[in-house]
Structure formats: structure tokens, C-alpha cells
Amino acid sequence: MTRAAVLLFLCVRMAMAAGPDWTKLQEETLRHFQALVRLDTSDPPGNEAPAVEYLRKVLEAEGIPCKVFALEPRRPNLVARLKGTGAKRPLLIMSHTDVVNVQPEKWKHPPFSAAREGGYIYGRGTIDDKDNLVAALMVMLELKRLNVALERDVIFLAESGEEGNTRVGIEYMVREHWNEIDAEFCIAEGGRVLRKGGKMSRSLVATTEKTPTAIRLVSSGTAGHGSVPLPDNAIGRLGQAIARVAAYRTPMRLNDTTRTYFERLATISTPEEASRYNNLVNPERSVEIQEYLRLNEPMHYSMLRTSLSATMVRGGTRKNVIPSQAEATFDVRVAPGEDLDWLRGEIEKTVNDSNVRVTLDKPSRPPAPPSRLDTALFKAIEEAQRRLYPGAPVLPIMSTGASDKVYLQQKGVQCYGIGSLSDEEDAALGFGAHSDQERIIEAELYRFVAYNWDVVTAVAGT
């Protein structure tokens, strides 16, 4: 859909329903978005304070009360709240102010310029996560300006540290200021509406995610001179252990989210693809299908199970010295419900070498149950996506990465990750999140703001 078509769609929609005139608010949306992208909040070191101060001034100028909480002075978190009747528990809108680091020399446009070109806005954070940040800001402003009647409080949390140090952000807020953000529902980052070949493809809503941890293999052997090969070479022993673990297949573990994802994906796939997705649990075809996904659709394969990827190897200091020890690290993404003690035991049996020690790191984030698919918020998300992104079926998804939603899910909050529209081809071309040419389609920024409005008013309005 072209920018002109998106604008026409929004104009027609506004003529049909009372609410903000988003076409008139585009200039303000763009101004806030560019201002926030132009603030370098790279993490590390973070320095989210300028972004929080910008948000605070804008919100308080409209009469929206704000509170700022900081474990470290330069890394604050902002909470703004619009009061409802209290008939229902609050809705939390969460986004983060920090971004990942950049290598400026690799960018066509300066990474903190928010440059506009060809219908795009370029810059670090444009789709992770300052699009969500601005959408939340604009929704809060318009709820206040239009004096929208609310059945539940709407809370806006702009958190620090999501990209690298949750200690100063969501962990701190949950531990020390839970009463400020306690809610029934939360919308945050993690989803995406995808377009392929210029045509709507699908809408992804993140309802759960894997838990990151690591397995380490430490091999021991006899040290010596490299000119004399030894039978218990620690590096050779480690290489054999790595090969065994890399070949190990964890069992498939479907949950409500992944089961629904593949069921819905099958309805928009080719007959051949649909047959695979619909027969994942067919005992006669499951092994064959899983192997096909491993070789051809690694993301889908990872969504089915706990995954292990060899990522680091260390051993030796000189080419002519046989080291007495070598170490390998596997990045592990744990599927919900996996027993970690059982997993470590399985890896030990797979290695089958008393001279290779297997250790499992403590997970860096807590495990959390998947959010339900039958809640008022999930239904509101589905309905809003059908209206604003027609032709893009809604698929709940389990993220193979990690976000801060798990800290809220662990407290019982039903959390859903959403995102703006992007082209499927962009990631491979280097235009995706964390890339050297991160960008957002400008017209889609505006549509995303309207989408957030529809979701929030549907679930929080009277």
C-alpha cells in the first residue's frame, strides 16, 4: 500500500468514527518521533535521561501527571497515568527509550538524524523501539485532549535498559515500584505487521518468548608441546563434544501460542506448506517435517523447541602449546515449560565424556507463562488489525528472542507485543531492527499510532 493509499484509508476511517484526526496529527507525530530518534540513547551506556525529560515535558504540558524513578541518575524510567473509573484493572503501555549501539561509518544517513528519504525515516530506534514510544505518547495526549471516558487507568511506562541492563529498568520497576505499573494487561514491543511483495502478508502478535541462558562445555587434557600430539588433547576432546551437542535434537514442545500460530499459518500458505504445518504432530510425518524445517525454515524449527547454537570457543594461547583446558559456549533459548535440570542431564549424556564438564548458566530472565488468546485485549488487537491492516491474518507468535514482557507476565499480567508494518524483504537487505540502515516507512508510523489508539480505546474506554 502506497503512502497516499494509507493516508486515504485513514481519512476515510476518520470520517466514519469519532476520535482523533490522525491525518492532522501527523506533523506533531513526526516532530516528536524525530526529536526522540535524534537523542542518542545507545545502551551501553544508556543515558536515557534526555528522552525521559523530553517525554515528561510534553506530557505535563498537556496536564498529564508524570513520575520519574531512577536506580541510576542517568537511567530513569517514566510513568504517566490517566485515571479511569476503576471498574476494571489498568492497561499498561510499555516501551523502552534505549537503543542498541551503532557504527556510524556504516550508515548512509547519520544514525541519529531521523533523516527522511523516499518515504522512509532512517535512524537507530526507528523500529526498536521509538515507534512504540511515540505511539504511546500520542495515544496518551489524545486521550487527555479528548477527555475520553475510561473504565480502567491507562499507564504509560517509558523504561530504560531493555537493550542491555534490565536491572535499571523493568527489574527495578517491578521490584521497587510495582504499585505504579501493576496492570491486568500490557501492550509492548515484539510483534510486527509484515508485507511481502507489496501485499499484506500477516500480522504477528507476540504472546510468549523463550528464556535465554547458556550451556558451557569445559574439556580437560594434558598440556604439552605442540610438536608432540597427545591422545587426550583438550581441544580435540572439546571438538568431539561440540559435534555431539550440535547434533542433539531437543524434543518438540508446542504450546497454545505456537499451536495456534501454525494452524493459522497453514490457512495462508501453499498446499505443500500447509500440509507440513498441519501435520507437525502426526506421528507418521512429524520427524520428517521437523527435519525439513530445521534445514529450510530455521525460525519455525526454533519455535518448536528449546534451541542450542554453538557461539563461542576458547582454548590455547600459542600455536605451539597444547592447552590443558578448552571451553565452548552454546546459546540456549529455552521453550516455555522446559525442565532445565533434565536438559542439563540430557546434554551430559550426549557429551558422554567424564573429562568434559557441562554447566548450565542461570537464565538471565525469568520464565513466564504464555499470555492467553481469549482475553479482551487480544481480541481488541485482532479487531484493530483486521480494520487497519486488512488482508493480514493475525498470528500469535512465540518470540525466539527476549523482551521485558516476561517480568510482567511472571506477575500475572497478560502481555502482547505489537509493531508497525514493515516489508519482509527489509531484514535481509539490512533495513531491520539493530541493522546499519534501520528505518520505518513514514506512512506506517502514522497508521501504527492509529492502531494503538484503536486497541487502547477498545479495551480501556467505556
pLDDT in tens, 175-234: 999 999 999 999 999 999 999 999 999 999 999 999 999 999 999 999 999 999 999 999
How far is residue 26's CA from residue 22's CA, in Å, rounded to a whole number? 6
DSSP H or E segment with residue 70? strand 66-70
pLDDT of residue 5: 53
Q: How far is CA 436 from the centre of its chain?
A: 18
Domain ranges of the chain: 3-189+419-460, 211-360
C-alpha cell recorded at residue 148:
475520553
**Sequence-ordered list of residues with C-beta below 8 angstroms from that of 168, at least 6 positions apart, any chain:** 46, 70, 71, 72, 75, 77, 160, 161
pLDDT of residue 6: 54
CATH level 2 (architecture), domain 3-189+419-460? 3-Layer(aba) Sandwich (3.40)
pLDDT of residue 2: 56
pLDDT of residue 369: 87
Find out whether 200 and 386 touch, Cβ atoms under 8 Å.
Answer: no
pLDDT of residue 367: 87
pLDDT of residue 452: 98
| Stretches in the chain below the pLDDT threshold 50 | 1, 12-16
User: Do the first three CATH levels of 3-189+419-460 and 211-360 match, i.e. the same topology?
Assistant: no
pLDDT of residue 14: 45
Instruction: For residue 115, give the amino acid letter.
Output: A
pLDDT in tens, 256-315: 999 999 999 999 999 999 999 999 999 999 999 999 999 999 999 999 999 999 999 999
The helix-helix angle for 376-388 and 3-16 (nearest 10°) equals 120
C-alpha dihedral sign at 222, 228, 233, 235: positive
The three-class DSSP label of residue 247 is helix
- Which of 112, 183, 156 lies closest to 438, judged by CA? 112
Write down the pTM of the prediction. 0.91
Q: Is 243 exposed, middle or buried (0-12, 13-18, 19+ CB in 10 A)?
A: exposed
The three-class DSSP label of residue 362 is coil
CATH level 2 (architecture), domain 211-360? 2-Layer Sandwich (3.30)
